[in-house]
Amino acid sequence: MIVCFDIGGSAIKGAVAYSAERIEPMERRVTPLDDFDAFVEALRAVIAEAGGKPDCIAISITGVVDPETQAIKCANIPCIDGRKLAAELTERLNLPVLIANDADCFALAEAGAGAGRGYRIVLGAIIGTGVGGGLVVDGRLINAEGGFAGEWGHGPAVATMAGTPPVAIPLFDCGCGQRGCVDTIGGARGMERLHQTLHGKALPSLEITRLWQEGDAEAARTIDVLVDLVSSPLALTINITGATIVPVGGGLSNVTPLISAIDKAVRSRILRKFDRPLVVPGECHVEPGLIGAAILGLGGERT
């Protein structure tokens, strides 16, 4: 038995996991943002509620662990930013602690219990508010020690001309400090930014996708440009990793026609040809972070 967590900037979700198929969620708690002692005590309370002594603690969390220093970079939760979080929690909780980025845990969940079951190389792609991803090979997370592998949303990879016919696209500043990242145009906020740029209209992403599916010409132009911009970086990532399935999570994964359009474009741009869908909606719709953390803890290395 392990206790797993999915921790974001607003809530701590905890669960007891006996297997990837048997995960029993517990009451959510508010994430303490500025008080590390309170953060630790919130985790301790969940562990106590679980009853018994778990074999380990496994955490899916916003932020990235540096593979060399083991320090976490987490702007959403200031009290843990810069800490060697796994080591500090191991000492404070007196239990082994494993930590992975939330996109990595999504990839683990899909590889072990979702659309990636039965595939050797699974690239989990997040297309939500922004763009992210994780990579699992032979059931093991590439970023087991931390790092950015599978993170196709960042790096100056966006074309300056896109769509049919082509239109000029500015390189937008990204929160990571670079310009022209897929994250700036590929997720919900990026879709809204593109629509504003192309048509001078501020609309939420759900409205844009609704209008697109109803045949609106302006929304169709926005989606055409977005698919063109997103598909080449994703195709390159697939070529480099050799992924044979790409489950997609995040809010825009629920817009099935959009994922189908991206899949069609990606499959036309990769070296290996598939006569089946490659980029597909994820299947772990309920708590993929907890599922991924459970798989991490149940199958990960013990320290």
pLDDT digits (tens, 9 = 90+) for 258-271: 999 999 999 999 99
Q: Are residues 141 and 224 in the same domain?
A: yes
Residue type, 102: D
Q: Are residues 186 and 216 in the same domain?
A: yes
The CATH number of whichever domain residue 77 belongs to comes to 3.30.420.40
pLDDT at 300: 46
Strand 23-25 to 29-30 pairing = unpaired
Which stretches in the chain have pLDDT values below 70?
300-303
For the beta carbon of residue 152, count every other beta carbon within 10 angstroms.
29
Q: Are residues 268 and 190 in the same domain?
A: yes
Q: How many domains does one find in the chain?
A: 2
Q: Which of 219, 151, 227, 135 is nearest to 186 (CA)?
A: 227
Contact status, residue 17 vs residue 32, Cβ threshold 8 Å: no
Q: Are residues 135 and 67 in the same domain?
A: no
Q: Are residues 11 and 135 in the same domain?
A: no
pLDDT at 148: 86
Q: What is the largest CA-CA distance in the chain?
A: 63
pLDDT at 21: 82
For the beta carbon of residue 32, count every other beta carbon within 10 angstroms.
18
d(CA 136, CA 86): 21
Q: What range defines the domain where residue 6 resides?
A: 2-105+286-299
pLDDT at 303: 34
Q: Are residues 80 and 133 in the same domain?
A: no
Q: Are residues 260 and 294 in the same domain?
A: no
pLDDT at 52: 83
Q: Are residues 91 and 179 in the same domain?
A: no
Beta bridge partners of 134: 124
Q: Are residues 222 and 291 in the same domain?
A: no
pLDDT at 252: 95
Helix axes 256-267, 217-241, angle to 10 degrees: 50
The encoded tokens of residue 130 equal 């922004």
- Per DSSP (E only), the strands in 11-155 are 11-17, 23-25, 29-30, 57-61, 64-65, 72-73, 97-101, 121-127, 131-137, 140-141
pLDDT at 208: 98
pTM of the predicted model as reported, rounded to 2 decimal places:
0.91
pLDDT at 301: 39
Sign of CA dihedral 182, 186, 191, 192: negative
Q: Are residues 141 and 43 in the same domain?
A: no
CA dist list (Å): 161 to 164, 226, 267: 10, 11, 20
Q: Are residues 146 and 19 in the same domain?
A: no
Residue 272 belongs to some domain of the structure: yes
Helix axes 188-199, 205-213, angle to 10 degrees: 70
Which long-range contacts does 258-267 make (Cβ < 8 Å, 24+ apart)? 258/209, 258/223, 258/227, 259/127, 261/223, 261/227, 262/127, 262/227, 262/230, 262/231, 262/234, 265/227, 265/228, 265/231, 265/235, 266/231, 266/234, 266/235, 266/238
Q: Which of 254, 293, 235 is nearest to 104 (CA)?
A: 293
Phi/psi of residue 24, each to 5°?
-110, 100
Q: Are residues 275 and 168 in the same domain?
A: yes
Q: Which of 124, 280, 198, 170 is nearest to 212 (CA)?
A: 198
pLDDT tens figures, 187-197: 999 999 999 99
